[in-house]
Amino acid sequence: MNKFKVIACAVLALAGTAHAAEKYAADVILTKATLIDVASGKAIKGKSVVLKGDTIIAVVDDSKLSAYAAKKTVRLPGKYLMPGLWDTHVHFGGGPALIEENKHLLALYLANGITTVRDCSGDLPDTVLAWRDQIKAGQLEGPTIFTSGAKLEGYKPLWKGTIEVGTPQEVQAALEKLQGQHVDFVKITENTLKPEIYLEALRQAKERGMRTSGHIPVQLTLEQMFDAGLGTVEHQSYLLRASTPQEKELTAQVAAGTLSGKDAMKQSLQSYDEATARAAFRYMASKGTAVVPTLSVSRVVAYLDKDDHSHDPALQYIGKGLRATYDWRVQRAAQDNAEAIEQRHAVFEKSAALLPILEQEGVSIIAGTDAGFLNSYDYPGQALHDEIGLYVHYGLTPAQALQTAVINGPRFLGKLNRYGSVEAGKSADLVVLDANPLQDIAATRKINLVVSRGAVYDRAHLDKLLADTKQWVEQENAK
C-alpha cells in the first residue's frame, strides 16, 4: 500500500470516529418510564422521549439514546408517561375585579396535569385572548389556551361578555371581528338568540371555515342542529331530547309556548327509548357533531341537596370573589322542592347513562368540565379528573376515557398534527404518573411530573405552584 492510500485510510478513519462522536443536541430526555399509547390503549416499555424546545424530537429505543446529548436526563423507572391532559370546556370570568383571581387558576391546571384548556367564553374575553398570546410567547405561565373569544347571543342576554346579534348582517360583523382576533372556534348560546339567527350563525361560520360549539335552542330539534353543522354540543343533558320519539312534538310545543322546557325534559325522560337514542346518535356521528359532556358540574348541581362542599380541600385555591359567584346556583337549587330535586337527579343519571351509547354509535366524546366562575364547586384542574372518572363509572373503559381528554379535543380543533400522542413532531406537553391509567383511571391524579411546552415541572415544582396559589388566596381573602 503506497503512502497516499495510507493517508487516505487514516483520514477516513478519523472522519468515521468524528462522525460517531457527533450527537443530536437535545434539552431533556425522559427515560425508563412506560409510555401510554392512548390511541391503542397499550402500555409500551423500553422507549425514551427526547425533547428540544417545545417539541418532541424523537421517541427511541432505550438502546439508541447514545445518539443524543441532552442538557438534562430524567430517569423515571416505574412511572407512566402520556400526553398532557386537555379540559375543553372552561370559563374565566366574574368581571374585571376578578381578573387576578382568574389568572391564578392557570397554575391549578398545570399542577393537575392539564397542559391545554379550551375557553368557552366568559365575561373576560379580551383578557383571555391576551393570556393565550402571552402563554404562547412564553411570557405567562399556564396551560396552552384555545378560546372562542366573546360568545354570540341575542339581544339583552342573561350572560355578560357576549356579542349581541339579531340579523344576518350583525352575525357577519361578529364573525369578522372574531376572525380578526384569530379565535379558535365560535361559541353560540341560546338564551335570547332567535333560532333562525342561531342557524344563520352556524351557516355563516361553516362558510368561513370556523368551528362552532354551543347550547341547543329549545325551539330547534337536535337533528336540525346536526344538519346545520354544529361542531360540538356543550353539555350532554341536551342530548336527552334526542332520545325520545316525541322530540319533534315536544320541541314544537315549547316553541309555541304551550309547554315549558322543564316539562318537556320531564316528558323526554318518561318517553325515553334506547332505539331512538341510538338512531339519533348514529346520525349525530355521521354529521360530525361531537359532545362535551360536562358531567362533573352536572353531578355537583344535581346533588347539592346531598353533598356538603363547604369543606372541600380544593376551596383553599379559590379566591373569595370566585367563591361568591358559586352562590347563584346554590341558592337556586335550595329553592327546589322534592319533585324538582328528584328530577335533577333523574336528568343527571339518565344523561350520564347515555355515555356508552354515544361511544358505541361513534359520537366523539370530548372531555370538558365547565370549571370556572359561576359553576359551584367545579374546581379548575381537579374537575377534569372527576370528569373522566365519571366517564368510567358510567361505562367507558379507562382507555376510552383517556382518549376523550387527550385525542378528541385536538381532533375537534384540527390540531392532531401537534397534539394527542407521544411522537416526534408533537408538542412537548406530557404528564408522568405514578400508576397505570389504563388499569385505573384514578391514576391520572397521581402526578409525578408535568412537561408544558418543554418546561419540566417536577413534583416539588408542582407542589410549589399549589402552595403559592394557596398563599395568594389566603392573603387576598384576608384583605
- Mapped onto helix, strand or coil, the DSSP state of residue 133 is helix
Please tell me which of 6-15, 38-47, 323-332 the model is most confident about, judged by mean pLDDT.
38-47
What percent of the chain is modeled with pLDDT above 70?
96
The pLDDT score that the predictor gives to residue 236 is: 97
Mean pLDDT computed over 234-248: 96
Query: What is the pLDDT averaged over residues 196-222?
Result: 97
Cβ–Cβ < 8 Å for 71, 464: no
Cα distance between residue 391 and residue 355, in whole Å: 7
- Check whether 14 has a pLDDT greater than 60: no
Residue 9 has pLDDT above 60, yes or no: no
The pLDDT tens digits of the residues spanning 256-287 come to 999 998 899 999 999 999 999 999 999 999 99
Closest CA to 447 of 115, 3, 96, 221: 115
pLDDT at 108 over 50: yes
Average pLDDT over residues 325-337: 93
Position 399 confidence tier, pLDDT thresholds 50, 70, 90 = very high
Task: Give the pLDDT band of residue 22 (cuts 50, 70, 90).
Answer: confident
Q: What is the mean pLDDT of residues 305-334?
A: 95
Predicted pLDDT at 337: 95
**SS3 call for 87:** strand
Residue 5, CA distances (Å) to 9, 13, 16, 361 in order: 6, 12, 16, 71
Segment 381-393, tens digit of pLDDT: 999 999 999 999 9
Overall size of the chain counted in residues: 479
pLDDT at position 158: 87
Confidence (pLDDT) at 21: 55
User: Is the Cα dihedral 186, 189, 193, 195 positive or negative?
Assistant: positive
Q: Which domains does the chain have, with CATH numbers?
A: 84-420 (3.20.20.140)
Q: Which three cell numbers stand for residue 324?
A: 361568591
SS3 content of the chain, % helix, strand, coil (to 5): 45, 20, 35
As a whole number, mean pLDDT of residues 178-193 equals: 97
Best CA proximity match to 450, nearest among 15, 79, 174, 21: 79
Instruction: Read off the pLDDT of each residue in 313-326 and give the average, rounded to a whole number.
Output: 96
pLDDT in tens, 338-357: 999 999 999 999 999 999 99
Residue 8 has pLDDT above 80, yes or no: no
- pLDDT score, position 96: 96
**pLDDT at 12 > cutoff 70:** no
| Helix 295-302 with 382-393: angle, nearest 10 deg | 90
- Rounded average pLDDT over 151-175: 96
pLDDT digits (tens, 9 = 90+) for 131-152: 999 999 999 999 999 999 999 9
What's the pLDDT at 379? Answer: 98
Residues with Cβ within 8 Å of 248's Cβ and at least 6 positions away in sequence, in order, are 221
Q: What amino acid is encoded at 366 in this protein?
A: I
Q: What is the pLDDT of residue 479?
A: 87
Smallest Cα–Cα separation from 411: which of 451, 368, 453, 365?
365
- Band of residue 2 on the pLDDT scale cut at 50, 70, 90: very low
The rounded distance, in Å, linking the Cα atoms of 366 and 108 is: 20
Residues 358-383: pLDDT tens digits? Answer: 999 999 999 999 999 999 999 999 99
- Indicate the residue type of 101: E
For range 440-465, the mean pLDDT: 98
Query: What CA–CA distance (Å, rounded) separates 366 from 368?
Result: 6
| pLDDT value at residue 11 | 33
Alpha-carbon torsion angle 405, 407, 410, 415, nearest 10:
150
Residue 246 pLDDT greater than 90, yes or no: yes
Structure confidence at residue 431 as a pLDDT band (50, 70, 90): very high
C-alpha cell at 387: 370528569
